[in-house]
Amino acid sequence: MTHLTAANLSRINLLSQQLLDYSLDCQKGDRLVIEVLGEGRELAKEIIKEAYARGAHPFVKVFDPMLHNEWLRGITAETVQKVVNWDTPIWQETNKRVVIIGVHDGSDYAGVPIEQVNTYFTSMRELRTLKSKKRWVGLHYPTQSLADNAGMTLEAFTDFYFQVSTIDYAKVNQAAQPLKEWMERTDRVRIIGAGTDLTFSIKGIPAYIASGEMNVPDGEVFTAPVLDSVNGTITYNIPSLYDGTTYSDVRFVFQNGKIIEATANETELLNKILDRDEGARFIGEFAIGFHPLILHPMNDILFDEKIAGSFHFTPGHAIEMTDNGNRSSLHWDLVSIQRPEYGGGEIWFDDVLVRKDGLFVPEELQGLNPDRLMEGQ
């Protein structure tokens, strides 16, 4: 359980108001689903109260990871389809959504055969697409497992969690505008680093600023590569937890957009994931992370993909706002950090060096460097 001191209760209230007012623009008459995955009931309770105060209609779905794990072991495509049929009317009537994740990422799939997990994700694709079209925000809730993964006590992690979750996201959004505009006028991207020399085009693909409106914590600008334009090699330098397994030293070789070679500490399992469907071996997202207070990996993607000086290059489904046409039941945000202590690296846009060793170089982008983002906060 989170340390429910008076200070934390106050911060839960502050966070719930930020989620409803800034992230969701919650209004009278909104039909809001609050999904609680594991822990997080304290935050859900506050969101319910604040939603009622705004004249909205909150509806709560509580998810138990242990029971879900057991259910997955016996599912068939027919079983999942029945769930889709039951849930679809709820999501057709909903217009806004909060997802509180109070379980360690991927632990609800630990020990479940990968074939069962693939059946679940493939069969849920249409419902997941419907849910994704609602205005939504997702966030973790501070748990002992997250604290352990971060190498902190629960008390220290809880302080960190509220600090990174309640920064001035309006300022982040404003500082990110020049990067969004630069990405939208860019054709060729090159990424260089240890074990990485990658080229691709982002010409004609929109860019989107993620600044607390869909994820908390947040801090990235994302787009997608032209589907067949990716060539070269990438080696991700931080671990990633997926389906209950931690993957490290993940290395992909691309040819005309497709991953033609994939290795890791768990190469066989990695390739099973990539063979889930045709789109899993193509890239659905390219993003640059810059949260000024998230500096080191925690083996939790919601935090790791926002690390200052990082980027992620995501096999699988394209995000609707930056759609490059890729379709898959997979969307796996694999991350590399380019700050000097992680080996450094460079990102080039059309032969212009835009970030070196994790810091933005052009003057118009330097507002996204950590010291500038934290001024006055």
**Residue 26 maps to which CATH number?**
3.40.1830.10
Domain finish residue from 139, 165, 191: 165
User: Does residue 358 share a domain with residue 283?
Assistant: yes
Domain finish residue from 142, 165, 188: 165
The reported pLDDT for the residue numbered 300 is: 85
User: Does residue 175 share a domain with residue 128?
Assistant: no
User: Does residue 135 share a domain with residue 80?
Assistant: yes
pTM of the full structure: 0.82
Cβ atoms 357, 339 nearer than 8 A = yes
Unique residue bearing structure tokens 């846009």: 349
The reported pLDDT for the residue numbered 6 is: 47
The reported pLDDT for the residue numbered 66 is: 86
**CA quadruple 325, 230, 210, 171: dihedral sign:** negative
Cβ atoms 65, 38 nearer than 8 A = yes
User: Does residue 317 share a domain with residue 192?
Assistant: yes
The one-letter amino acid code at 19 reads L
Query: Which distant-in-sequence residues (6+ apart) come within 8 Å of 364 by Cβ?
Result: 178, 182
Phi/psi at 284 (5° precision): -105, -5
Domain finish residue from 116, 131, 165: 165
pLDDT in tens, 199-210: 999 999 999 999
- Cα distances from 345 to residues 8, 123, 190, 193, 270, in angstroms, run 38, 39, 11, 4, 25
Rounded Cα distance between 193 and 25, Å, is 40
| Residues counted in the chain | 377
The reported pLDDT for the residue numbered 4 is: 46
The reported pLDDT for the residue numbered 108 is: 63
Rounded Cα distance between 234 and 254, Å, is 8
User: Does residue 257 share a domain with residue 277?
Assistant: yes
The reported pLDDT for the residue numbered 1 is: 43
The reported pLDDT for the residue numbered 121 is: 87
Q: Flag whether 87 is in a domain.
A: yes
Q: Flag whether 29 is in a domain.
A: yes
Q: Flag whether 154 is in a domain.
A: yes
Range of the domain at 285: 169-373
The reported pLDDT for the residue numbered 106 is: 52
Q: Flag whether 218 is in a domain.
A: yes
Cβ atoms 288, 277 nearer than 8 A = no
User: Does residue 118 share a domain with residue 69?
Assistant: yes
User: Does residue 231 share a domain with residue 97?
Assistant: no
User: Does residue 286 share a domain with residue 221?
Assistant: yes
The one-letter amino acid code at 217 reads P
Exposure of 260 by Cβ count < 10 A (0-12 exposed, 13-18 middle, 19+ buried)? exposed
User: Does residue 183 share a domain with residue 98?
Assistant: no
As for how many domains the chain has, the answer is: 2
Rounded Cα distance between 151 and 123, Å, is 37
User: Does residue 208 share a domain with residue 130?
Assistant: no
Look at strands 57-63 and 31-38 and give their pairing: parallel
Which stretches in the chain have pLDDT values below 70? Answer: 1-9, 104-108, 376-377
User: Does residue 133 share a domain with residue 35?
Assistant: yes
Q: Flag whether 1 is in a domain.
A: no
User: Does residue 335 share a domain with residue 261?
Assistant: yes
Look at strands 346-349 and 245-247 and give their pairing: unpaired
Unique residue bearing structure tokens 């969307």: 331
Cβ atoms 315, 274 nearer than 8 A = yes
The reported pLDDT for the residue numbered 55 is: 97
Q: Tell me the helix, strand and coil percentages in the chain, rounded to 5.
A: 40, 25, 35
Q: How many CB atoms lie within 10 A of CB 52?
A: 11
Rounded Cα distance between 133 and 123, Å, is 18
Q: Flag whether 256 is in a domain.
A: yes
Cβ atoms 101, 140 nearer than 8 A = yes
Q: Flag whether 233 is in a domain.
A: yes
The one-letter amino acid code at 49 reads K
